Chains A and B, each alone.
Chain A
Amino acid sequence: MNEAQDRYHRSATADAGGTAGEYGLSAGATTVSDMELAVEAERLVKQYRSRAETVDAVRGVDLKVGIGEVFGFLGPNGAGKSTTVRMLTTLLSITSGTARVAGIDVSADPDGARRRIGVALQEAGLDPRQTGRELLVLQARLFGSSAAHAERRAGELLELVDLVEARDRRIKGYSGGMKRRLDLASALVHEPEVLFLDEPTTGLDPASRLTVWDELRRINARGTTIFLTTQYLEEADQLCDRLAIIDGGLIVREGTPQQLKAELRQRRGLDTDPTLDEVFLDATGRTRERAAGEVQEVSA
């Protein structure tokens, strides 16, 4: 734990009369304790063991995401974001702790969890040799749709993400933005209850990013819970109802963007609300200079 995190945790414990985790969840008016939960993780741990060493990628993460929320999961490179998401989406085994998604224990019933979640990971995972339509039809078939229903669903989704004209073109000819939108559509073929998006706008130009944001808002408006990891704090500020910041495999902040800004403003005695960037830098113990000059190895 770095100095800033330590100061935050001591202050939080003293102010709230409880643990830092409790502080993070109860710092403002919004709590998740009364909500029905879409995602729930308790003491989630991931260790990578090799002959030479054991690496703790995630060191005991507790998360609660309410149904219908857009939840942002932030952190610097190698903090454990992607590892956590991969555990929650059944792609990675859990070393210890439990995770429930849409009420299903992901370790005990991975297929049950997979039926209820949609996943779009970093670097749009698409098959460049298929057409957009073929990819969506295949994905729908794998989720149990009949051939006719899969075709119909592919048509709906292509319309949703504005790719109708490109439907019969091979994906390798799509632009970065088109690929992202198709990836998003492929995560929605089975109308998931929870949508996991790992850095969905990384590498996109500003216009494409705004298009993806619009899609996410529309999807969320239909009742889908969104669990979003991002490195873009503006994105988190724009889209997320609540967010958590992870660093060194531990959650170091959690709350609504407004709560997190208000807490930092109060703690530092600032006249105006700080930006989410400043909250992030404070939470992760980084300074602007250090963050700009840092070269980190991504291990998650």
Chain B
Amino acid sequence: MTKINESPSRAGKKVYLTAQGLADAKAELEFFKNTKRTQVAELIHQAREYGDLAENSEYDAALEEQAMIESRISELENILKGAKVISEKHTEDFVVIGSTVKIEMDDGIDEFTIVGRVEADPSKKRISNESPLGSSLIGAKKGEVVEVATPIVRYKCKVLEIK
């Protein structure tokens, strides 16, 4: 299952997700609401029974876990509120969110899929559409050379293939 991440500062904005990503986010939300909430409530209840809450490390740990669960639930709810599913069928004429692209850049050849920010994981070849590389490639055609730049680095990137 893909770990769907969302920064709090981006809450409420449009979130691009693959169909699988959307299903994963829904499943995770359900799991957190229906299973994890109950589990942590039980842990808190048990920890209370150990007595003295001021010096009760089990109680503190359970409260911490509860806070993490609630934060994740809120994050997932925000993601699903702004979710826009990326069509599985897309054009190969130019790069769109969901395209798998093969590029040549900085003496190397690389291939990755452009996804929404919450599903991005460069180590799994999924690059965010909002990253400098992803945003520069959106709209590029096969054979086109685009410039990718940040305040420090500047590269020429050639689109070799779009799938």
A, B in one complex: no
